[in-house]
Amino acid sequence: MKIAIFGGRGSGEDAAQSVARIAAGGTAFEVAGYLNDMLAPGTPLLGGRVLCRFEEWMTLKEDIRFVAPLHKAGHMQARVARIEGLGVPRERWAAVLDPNAAIASSAKIGGGAVLGPFAVVGPGTTLGMHTVVRAQAQVSHDVTLGDFVFVGGGSVVSGYCKLHAGAYVGPGAVLRDSITVGRFAVVGVGAVVVADVPDFAVVAGNPARLLSQDK
């Protein structure tokens, strides 16, 4: 399978590294290149090259599938609108699951998801479309991650937590079991979350406290 990556440095590079590791294990998987609005087509990028601008995805061959790991704290509403506005058909989004991730057989993972090395995804867990679980994060049993949720490196999302669409968990955060994190909420780096987080809220610290709640 050929994968084209929306973006570049950061999560895009991580996804490309996972694709390379999958290919090294003998599965036919390769990065076709990058879609990028800042760099001209043909520009070398991360061992590949820029193919086209975001809007030009439909000029690429139909066998090419996509991921768009463009998650950024505080920017998720705009980025979700941008990605959804491209009109890429659901079936063209691929999931890139690092071969070193430990994924329970009962986990359900949506298209466009990117799981980093040593990420752990527990049984009974559902990951929506375009979810990102970075390296060494643990998404425990019976967790539900909505579309476009980001779980930062080394963070822990305990059992029965529910994170709604566009929620963002910074690296090293820990969520107590059965916590709900609202739509487009942000959990700061290293936070310890012991109470539900409302939609659009920004929380941080141990125990996490509300910093803001703007739409």
**Binding of ligand COA by 181 (CB under 6 A):** no
Q: Which of residues 29-68 bind ligand COA (CB under 6 A)?
A: none
d(CA 211, CA 124): 32
Read off the DSSP letter of residue 60.
S
**Binding of ligand COA by 188 (CB under 6 A):** yes
**Binding of ligand COA by 152 (CB under 6 A):** yes
CA distances from 134 to 36, 43, 54, 209 (A): 22, 27, 23, 24
CA distances from 114 to 16, 18, 39, 43, 99 (A): 10, 9, 23, 24, 11
Least distance (Å) between residue 190 CB and ligand COA: 5
Residue number with CB closer to ligand COA (32 or 139):
139
Phi, psi of 172 (to 5 degrees): 75, 5
**Binding of ligand COA by 116 (CB under 6 A):** no
Residue number with CB closer to ligand COA (97 or 202):
202
Chosen residue from 42, 99, 205, 207 binding ligand COA by CB under 6 A: 205
Which residues have CB under 8 Å from 183's CB, separation 6+?
146, 164, 165, 166, 167, 199, 200
Chosen residue from 8, 111, 116, 170 binding ligand COA by CB under 6 A: 170
Residue number with CB closer to ligand COA (58 or 195):
195
**Binding of ligand COA by 7 (CB under 6 A):** no
**Binding of ligand COA by 202 (CB under 6 A):** yes
Least distance (Å) between residue 148 CB and ligand COA: 15
Q: Which stretch binds ligand COA (CB under 6 A): 39-47, 83-91, 138-146, 189-197?
A: 189-197
Least distance (Å) between residue 134 CB and ligand COA: 7
Phi, psi of 111 (to 5 degrees): -65, 150
Task: Locate all alpha helices (DSSP H) within the chain, ordered by sequence.
Answer: 11-24, 76-85
**Binding of ligand COA by 132 (CB under 6 A):** no
Position of minimal CB gap to ligand COA: 188
Task: Give residue 50's Cα distance to chain centre.
Answer: 21
Which residues have CB under 8 Å from 94's CB, separation 6+?
1, 3, 65, 66, 67, 111, 112
**Which residue carries 């440095």 as its tokens?**
9
**Site residues (vs ligand COA, CB under 6 A):** 73, 152, 170-171, 186, 188-191, 202, 204-205, 211
